[in-house]
Homo-oligomer: A and B are copies of this chain.
């Protein structure tokens, strides 16, 4: 693509052209040759939207909550971007199925942009393409951008930590593992939601959570609020939006904000570095043939993975 058409591409993104935005996200997902140049142009336009990360265990009702939060923002006249990460579904149509269901409630509204990001093969890059997609939406003037992740895996935690405000969704009485889950997500929640708050056990879950939160010491001395919601009914969504805003306000006022942005930037550079180095090493036909050959050697135990990698790095250079 020549410079002229790329400049018009970034202009269309800046103007909020939904088709240009969708194409740009596909480019960063596919790591197309001009995606790096595009992102370099996108980056200076970012930093205006509020990025909200929402995570929690499967079954917690995150999707309903995200949809209702989006509707709330729409009523206030905001343009909303939703980026749903579905790392658990590398082959099936999980992510796409989710999109279709969503389209029924939000999809006809031109002020909402919905995109699911799924893994493509095992070269990684899902976390990187997700934050790139968020940057594109930010550059396109979406004032509220919600990242929704299923599960509690490492990549998903990182993606949610990369948001301005991280929301952790729990439900009452999720079973014995709840202590373990909570321990894992304590650090990342700026706001906690107990969804399905019309169910039994909401008070004991709230007490448990309060006890855990009182033990934690945050660098920024923020006390994460607990919001009770019934997402399917829209209950508590306004309170959630208010809690999100209050953390954002706090965050902007404190020194710790810069530290967090630095940590996010560092992580983002490392993700991109990892991807770049691997694709450089495997760029030649000879290197990718070597990879397939070595995979066969390791599979049949004629060689160990460590020796294989040393050989591969030798070929790539």
- Residue numbers of A with Cβ under 8 A of B are 36, 39-40, 42-44, 46-47, 57-64, 86-94, 97-98, 119, 122-124, 126, 150-158, 171, 174-181, 183-187, 196, 258, 261-270, 272-274, 276-278, 280-281, 291-292, 294-301, 304-309, 312-313
Cβ contact of A299, chosen from B43, B261, B280, cutoff 8 A: B261
Chain B residue with Cβ nearest A185 = B88
Listed by A's residue number, 28 A-B pairs whose Cβ atoms lie within 8 Å are: A39-B305, A42-B304, A43-B301, A46-B301, A57-B59, A58-B180, A58-B181, A59-B177, A86-B180, A87-B157, A88-B157, A90-B157, A94-B184, A97-B180, A124-B154, A150-B177, A150-B184, A153-B153, A153-B155, A153-B156, A268-B298, A269-B291, A269-B298, A272-B305, A272-B306, A273-B281, A276-B313, A280-B313
- Given A39-B304, A274-B278, A313-B277, A174 and B269 contact (CB-CB distance below 8 Å): no
- For the A-B complex with A44-B301, A46-B301 known, give 18 more contacts whose Cβ atoms are closer than 8 Å: A47-B301, A57-B59, A58-B181, A59-B177, A59-B178, A88-B152, A88-B184, A92-B183, A92-B184, A92-B187, A154-B155, A155-B155, A264-B299, A265-B298, A268-B298, A269-B294, A270-B278, A272-B305
CA–CA, A301 and B270, complex, Å = 17
> When the two chains form their complex, are residues B177 and A299 in contact, meaning their CB atoms are under 8 A apart?
no
> When the two chains form their complex, are residues B92 and A40 in contact, meaning their CB atoms are under 8 A apart?
no
> When the two chains form their complex, are residues A270 and B123 in contact, meaning their CB atoms are under 8 A apart?
yes
CA–CA, A170 and B227, complex, Å = 28
Q: In the assembled complex, which residues on chain B have CB atoms less than 8 Å from the CB atom of A154?
A: 87-88, 90, 119, 124, 126, 153, 155
> When the two chains form their complex, are residues B265 and A312 in contact, meaning their CB atoms are under 8 A apart?
no
CA–CA, A36 and B269, complex, Å = 26
> When the two chains form their complex, are residues B281 and A277 in contact, meaning their CB atoms are under 8 A apart?
yes
- Given A57-B57, A265-B296, A291-B266, A44 and B305 contact (CB-CB distance below 8 Å): no
CA–CA, A264 and B183, complex, Å = 31
Q: In the assembled complex, which residues on chain B have CB atoms less than 8 Å from the CB atom of A36?
A: 306
Q: In the assembled complex, which residues on chain B have CB atoms less than 8 Å from the CB atom of A291?
A: 266, 269-270
Q: In the assembled complex, which residues on chain B have CB atoms less than 8 Å from the CB atom of A57?
A: 57-59, 151
> When the two chains form their complex, are residues B153 and A262 in contact, meaning their CB atoms are under 8 A apart?
no
Q: In the assembled complex, which residues on chain B have CB atoms less than 8 Å from the CB atom of A40?
A: 304, 306-307
> When the two chains form their complex, are residues B181 and A175 in contact, meaning their CB atoms are under 8 A apart?
no
> When the two chains form their complex, are residues A305 and B265 in contact, meaning their CB atoms are under 8 A apart?
yes
Give the shortest distance, in Å, between A130 (CB) and chain B (any CB).
Answer: 11
Cβ contact of A265, chosen from B64, B266, B268, B295, cutoff 8 A: B295
> When the two chains form their complex, are residues A153 and B88 in contact, meaning their CB atoms are under 8 A apart?
yes
Q: In the assembled complex, which residues on chain B have CB atoms less than 8 Å from the CB atom of A313?
A: 273, 276-277, 280
Give the shortest distance, in Å, between A208 (CB) and chain B (any CB).
Answer: 14
Chain B residue with Cβ nearest A176 = B61
Give the shortest distance, in Å, between A50 (CB) and chain B (any CB).
Answer: 16
